[in-house]
């Protein structure tokens, strides 16, 4: 497994002299980033890491050479178990499913130099969701976290050749699904400001100027808030929907605040009655190619906690 220079020998519990809790905390960011990419949920990722923390305290450490590898295996196995039940839940989920949004994606970045290290975009997370659990794990471990296939094989309890095939299938699908020419930050912020103003005022003509013809609108209400049950595909259909929403809006829009959602230009919108929703924009070639709106309050608890921490 690739180590970062500042950490030194990453795994030897017997030599680094750290206590049990301190040893775990060295790897919490790594483990949380891995678990979030596996599960698409910050709440579930933190639960998985906490369960790993409990098991770490209870295990016999005499034969552990690499704490990070040992903890990664625990987290991966916990996540694989959770993904089995999550897939059953997805089948009964009301409407489109989107990952839980995160505001501070930098804290979950992988400590590697590869192209996916800092990528937590919604498009990537949805591409990961379409992989099998083992494909997802093999791809993340090797292509995102730079874990060698010999170690991936140990973590997944498969042979090395099988893990190479799993990662290759995952890699092919992810590359096919990822935006090829993402917008630069300045242009992204400009388009975001135009989008927020047009959305807030119901200016459909202004929205038409910044939407790609093949744009897709995804809205996730989870059956608990009003949302389209299926993705809305195409600029004309999106504009028609938003025009209808503007005419029938029952919940006046309150505060609009620019935010980075999963590394994408986006915003937090607070309705007059206090509900929060997140909007993330995938921008390609100076046009919005995808809009991701999360309204399900269960998926916004972590965002609300972050907002509260920032305001306190």
CA atoms of 241 and 38, how far apart (whole Å): 33
The percentage of the chain sitting over the pLDDT mark of 90, rounded to a whole number, equals 60
CB under 8 Å to 272, separation ≥6 — which residues?
A: 251, 252, 253, 254
Instruction: Name which residue leads in pLDDT, 86 or 45.
Output: 45
* pLDDT tens-digit readout, 271-311: 877 789 999 999 988 899 999 999 999 999 989 888 777 77
All structural domains of the chain, each given as residue ranges with its CATH number in brackets, are 5-177 (1.20.140.160), 185-311 (3.10.450.50)
* pLDDT tens-digit readout, 149-184: 999 999 999 999 999 999 999 999 999 887 666 678
User: Hunting for tokens 């029952």 — which residue is that?
Assistant: 250
Q: How confident is the model at residue 15 (pLDDT cuts 50, 70, 90)?
A: very low
* pLDDT tens-digit readout, 204-234: 899 999 999 999 999 999 999 989 999 999 9
Q: What is the 3-state secondary structure (H, E, C) of the chain?
A: CCCCHHHCCCCCCCCCCCCHHHHHHCCHHHHHHHHHHHHCCHHHHHHHHHHHHHHHHHCCCCCCCCHHHHHHHHHHHHHHHHHHHHHHHHHHCCCCCCCCCCCCHHHHCCCCCCCCCCCCCHHHHHHHHCCCHHHHHHHHHHHHCCCCHHHHHHHHCCCHHHHHHHHHHHHHHHHHHCCCCECCHHHHHHHHHHHHHHHHHCCHHHHHHHEEEEEEEEEECCCCCCCCCCCEECHHHHHHHHHHHHHHCCCCEEEEEEEEECCEEEEEEEECCCCEEEEEEEEECCEEEEEEEECCHHHCHHHHHHHHHHHC
Is 4 buried (19+), middle (13-18) or exposed (0-12) by CB count in 10 A? exposed
Average model confidence (pLDDT) for the chain?
87
Q: How far apart are the first and last CA of the chain?
A: 39
pTM above 0.75, yes or no: yes
The pLDDT assigned to 71 comes to 93
């Amino acid at each position: 497994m690739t180590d970062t220079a500042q950490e030194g020998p990453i795994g030897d519990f017997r030599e680094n002299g750290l206590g049990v809790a301190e040893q775990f905390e060295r790897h919490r960011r790594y483990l949380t980033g891995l678990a979030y990419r596996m599960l698409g949920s910050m709440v579930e990722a933190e639960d998985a890491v906490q369960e790993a923390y409990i098991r770490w305290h209870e295990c016999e450490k005499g034969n552990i050479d690499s704490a990070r590898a040992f903890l990664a295996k625990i987290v991966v196995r916990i996540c694989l178990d959770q993904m089995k039940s999550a897939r059953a839940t997805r089948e009964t989920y009301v409407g489109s499913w989107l990952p839980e949004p995160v505001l501070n994606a930098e804290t979950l970045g992988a400590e590697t130099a590869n192209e996916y290290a800092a990528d937590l975009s919604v498009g990537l997370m949805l591409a990961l969701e379409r992989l099998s659990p083992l494909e997802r794990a093999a791809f993340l471990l090797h292509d995102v976290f730079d874990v060698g296939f010999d170690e991936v094989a140990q973590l997944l309890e498969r042979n090395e050749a099988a893990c190479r095939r799993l990662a290759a299938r995952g890699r092919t699908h992810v590359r096919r699904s990822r935006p090829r020419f993402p917008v630069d930050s300045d242009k992204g912020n400009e388009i975001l400001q135009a989008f927020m103003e047009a959305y807030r005022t119901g200016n459909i003509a202004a929205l038409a100027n910044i939407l790609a013809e093949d744009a897709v609108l995804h809205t996730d209400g989870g059956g608990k808030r009003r949302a389209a049950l299926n993705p809305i595909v195409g600029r004309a259909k999106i504009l028609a929907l938003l025009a209808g929403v503007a005419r029938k809006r029952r919940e006046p829009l309150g505060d609009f605040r620019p935010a980075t959602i999963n590394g994408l230009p986006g915003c937090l919108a607070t309705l007059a009655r206090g509900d929060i929703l997140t909007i993330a924009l995938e921008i390609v070639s100076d046009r919005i190619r995808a809009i991701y709106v999360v309204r399900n309050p269960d998926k916004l608890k972590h965002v609300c906690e972050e907002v509260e921490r920032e305001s306190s």
